[in-house]
Structure 1
């Protein structure tokens, strides 16, 4: 059975994540991550505090480590490899580690820096993100284009049909909330994110991240990785570095990525990491596909049985 492995991004973190796994691979991976980073990632994941785990510079390496821990546990089953990998936003780095394109330690330090740069680019309280539900992509784009006030308002995540996340400055997001129903949106929901990811406010952060990326070894992926920019595969180091740079200030084309994989015959998707966010989105993008979350041992067992079938 051909299947794709998907890695979640920010929003999937929680204190105690992956506690449904008892395999020592999980703790060993967290400990390895702690050595690479110089702080106790395993303790933070297990005990919190939640406020610290939710700091972008902590969230990103914690989620990357969680995704790789589950990936290693999955590999230990010696099952057929996925035909493709993809990751939502931060999850793209996890996918590249799983594919052998980035070293685990290098990637952890990269995403820690990525989080620091994102936090520094837009001070807390200045920017954020909101989900627009009930409008198609073109309608959301037109809605954002109508904003005539100060600041930025741009589509950031094309997550699924009828769900687009918008990023920008707080006054622009407040306008979006006020005008939502008049523009046909079923709802506009502010997200618990102080960093406006995947919009032009992150351009400077992307340029600074590119300096570190230029110094980071990048290999050709052993498994094709679909990139957020366009759902396409890249195999050359410079192309991968450029995609990671642009990903920070351009929209995540998640619905396009999943639809392309489905159109190429992929009928099963596995979410590799904590939570079920991507499984939920898949129900709206590829309704007749089968999706499994590997967030606990039971999920891994069910997915393994399906892949073997």
Structure 2
């Protein structure tokens, strides 16, 4: 029997995240890359924390630092996936490239997206508690794109700021629940195609290996080859994140539990709502790596 490993995306970063993560070499590499002495202190500044150039590097590096601490305590995962920028950590954990390369790619990805956003300002809004048909109508009425699909009644929409305002008003009037995300770019929408093209050029010059673990992508289902890996990482910048399908793919592996690596518990909560018979827990719920490993082991994996 087995477990799945999922890596969180951007937006939930906070100074108290990963409370058990020690200040070892992987964490120091993140501080150095960001030019800060202490990432927790830096996250006290909400504006600093929300910037793509900081958040994407920080989350990629810290997720892999956390996995570096957890991996010796656990058997290998049966399957791996990442949510949005969490794919960089997921691909690294699956053996496609090392942690240093993941950090460099996170920096290049953020820079490409920020250059694109400078000419096309926009953002994202989470919409839930609406029927699929109502969400489809909202997309048609506002001209927004579905950036992330978490479930039939839970999506993230992306586009121009005025359209986001209109969507929030329309959805709220229909009883929907809306959450504006603290990002300044319409990630995972066609607006970001120039960023996807630019990032693809970076990926072409980066050494990749075939995944050594079952790896599932936001944009291309299972990744089994180097060309697929490059295509998927570039495409997802401007294409809908199909997280609902990623969860289905992981569940189909017959996993007995799921571990979320990163800040917050958003992915664990989504999983538990979709598959209540297969428990998921997040790193942020534990006070030590050993406690998390013990929880995984309690499901008969070792």
* Matching residue of 1:213: 203
Quick check: 1:28 aligned with 2:29? Answer: no
Quick check: 1:172 aligned with 2:167? Answer: no
Distance 1:4 1:52 in 2: 32
Structure 1, gaps ≥5 residues long: none
Q: Are the counterparts in 2 of residues 7 and 67 from structure 1 also a CA contact under 8 Å?
A: yes
Q: Are the counterparts in 1 of residues 2 and 301 from structure 2 also a CA contact under 8 Å?
A: no
Quick check: 1:198 aligned with 2:194? Answer: no
Describe the shift of the 1:264–1:248 C-alpha distance in structure 2 as closer, same or farther (beyond 3 A). Answer: same
**Per-residue deviation at 1:126?**
2.9
**Per-residue deviation at 1:125?**
9.3
* Matching residue of 2:109: 114
Distance 1:144 1:308 in 2: 43
Q: Are the counterparts in 2 of residues 86 and 225 from structure 1 also a CA contact under 8 Å?
A: yes
* Matching residue of 2:4: 4
State the superposition RMSD in angstroms. 2.2
Aligned with 1:90 (options 82, 85, 88): 85
Aligned with 2:137 (options 122, 134, 142): 142
Q: Are the counterparts in 2 of residues 130 and 167 from structure 1 also a CA contact under 8 Å?
A: yes
Structure 2, gaps ≥5 residues long: none
Q: Are the counterparts in 2 of residues 74 and 300 from structure 1 also a CA contact under 8 Å?
A: yes
* Matching residue of 1:236: 225
Distance 1:302 1:104 in 2: 26
Distance 2:270 2:257 in 1: 14
TM-score of the pair, normalised by structure 1: 0.88
Aligned with 2:247 (options 258, 270, 278): 258
TM-score of the pair, normalised by structure 2: 0.90
Distance 1:233 1:146 in 2: 34
